[in-house]
Amino acid sequence: MSTDPAPAPATSVIPGVTLTTGAGGLPAVAIDTPLASALIYLSGAHLARWRPRGHDEVLWLSTTSQYLPGKPIRGGVPLCWPWFGGHAQRPELPAHGFARTSAWTLAATEALPDGRVRISLSLANDADSSRMWPHAFIAISTVTIGETLEMELVVRNPGTTPFTYEEALHTYFAVGEVRRCAIHGLAGTTYIDKVRALQRSVEGQAPLAFSGETDRVYVDTTAACRLEDPVLKRTITVTKEGSKATVVWNPWAAKAKAMKDFDDEGWPGMACIESANVAELAITVPPGGEHRLGVRISVQRHP
Ligand code: TA6
């Protein structure tokens, strides 16, 4: 049972970690160590960049993203919480919840013995959140930066009644050419197809390839996914804990053009693989309880 209060704001940072301002003058945490570089905006606890030494940038960022307080950043790893997609009953509320547009607090920076650095940010309920989602909560986002990337979203329920939420680490991966990529790990998995009126189908045995707008919620899967990218000559492996859904998305040309913050030419260079708990796989946390969603990403260069 967890009744810990929200962590206090960090008062200092460690070597290789700098408090800075990023695009739009938004406050951010810059990481630059012998193992990797990265950038995390306090707005949305949004990991925008991660580049392990010796590799190309792993995360995709739109060149036309907005960087404004209260607005989502297009690319990197948006935290979708406490709902996924449009709000079921209140369409006026922000898509994918309010976590990705809230001002998070830098709670801690930690140097690990193996040279990785760990950054924790926290978010707790306030009057704004309570108007959208009437629960007391403490959310802690922890990112561990090294040759691999670890991300964790822990949500605690300090209240007296259970609450239920959806969540996704909505990771945008940079790829050389999405039409030449393939995703392994989802064979035989049932998915909800958002391009075909939420029709449920079963993925075939062949690796998932992209030939048009793709927006699929794979359900009841805890499988690791491998994104093969023959153009950038690398394989990105995504393993996860505490997640039973995986979302795969590419908007393709028309949808990309329709989104002001998505650069029109950007869609061939990205693919989303999102570790999630959505729809029938939403999470319920009892009073005093907590839930942890964890993701580990590694990059292997092709010989
Ligand atoms: O994860 C895929 C998805 O749900 C798509 O349907 C699309 O809406 C995408 O997320 C991006 O959503 P956003 O609100 O960031 O434009």
- pLDDT for 5 equals 80
75 lines ligand 1 (CB under 6 A): no
Exposure on the CB side of residue 158, measured as CA atoms within 13 A: 12
Give the distance from CA 284 to its chain's centroid. Answer: 20
Q: Which residue's alpha carbon is nearest to atom 15 within ligand 1?
A: 74
| Rounded mean pLDDT, 88-114 | 97
Task: State the alpha helices, DSSP H only, in the chain.
Answer: 127-132, 252-258
Kindly tell me the sign of the dihedral angle through the C-alpha atoms of 69, 75, 81, 85.
positive
Take residue 168 and report the two structure tokens written for it: 């996704």
- pLDDT for 155 equals 98
Q: Which residue's alpha carbon is nearest to atom 14 within ligand 1?
A: 95
Q: Which residue's alpha carbon is nearest to atom 4 within ligand 1?
A: 85
Per-residue pLDDT of 200-216, as tens digits, reads 999 999 999 999 999 99
Per-residue pLDDT of 143-181, as tens digits, reads 999 999 999 999 999 999 999 999 999 999 999 999 999
pTM for the model stands at: 0.97
Exposure on the CB side of residue 135, measured as CA atoms within 13 A: 23
Q: Domain map of the chain by residue range?
A: 17-301
* Most ligand 1 atoms within 8 A of CB, residue of 193, 215, 257, 274 to mutate: 215
| Rounded mean pLDDT, 27-34 | 97
Mean pLDDT of the chain: 97
pLDDT above 70: residue 3: no
- pLDDT for 8 equals 83
CA–CA separation, 290 and 239 (whole Å): 21
CA–CA separation, 19 and 179 (whole Å): 38
- pLDDT for 53 equals 97
Bridge partners, 109 (sequence order): 119
Kindly tell me the sign of the dihedral angle through the C-alpha atoms of 232, 235, 237, 238.
positive
Take residue 93 and report the two structure tokens written for it: 């509320």
3-state secondary structure of 184: strand
Exposure on the CB side of residue 239, measured as CA atoms within 13 A: 6
Q: How many degrees, rounded to 5, is the angle at CA 82 between CA 58 and CA 185?
A: 45
Exposure on the CB side of residue 159, measured as CA atoms within 13 A: 17
pLDDT above 60: residue 2: no
User: Percent of the chain at pLDDT above 70?
Assistant: 99
- Residues involved in catalysis: 170, 274
100 lines ligand 1 (CB under 6 A): no
For domain 17-301, give its CATH number from 3.40.50.300, 3.30.300.210, 2.70.98.10, 2.40.50.140: 2.70.98.10
Position 20 confidence tier, pLDDT thresholds 50, 70, 90 = very high
Per-residue pLDDT of 228-273, as tens digits, reads 999 999 999 999 999 999 999 999 999 999 999 999 999 999 999 9
| Rounded mean pLDDT, 21-27 | 97
CA distances 24 to 95, 120, 183, 282, 285, Å, are 22, 22, 34, 34, 36
* Most ligand 1 atoms within 8 A of CB, residue of 66, 170, 191, 274 to mutate: 170
CA–CA separation, 32 and 50 (whole Å): 10
| Rounded mean pLDDT, 6-27 | 90
215 lines ligand 1 (CB under 6 A): yes
User: How many CB atoms sit inside 10 A of residue 259's CB?
Assistant: 15
Main-chain phi, psi angles of 196, to 5 degrees: -125, 60
- pLDDT for 273 equals 99
Take residue 167 and report the two structure tokens written for it: 């969540």
DSSP for 253-295 reads HHHHHH-TTS-TT-GGGEEEEEEEE-GGG-EEE-TT-EEEEEE
170 lines ligand 1 (CB under 6 A): yes
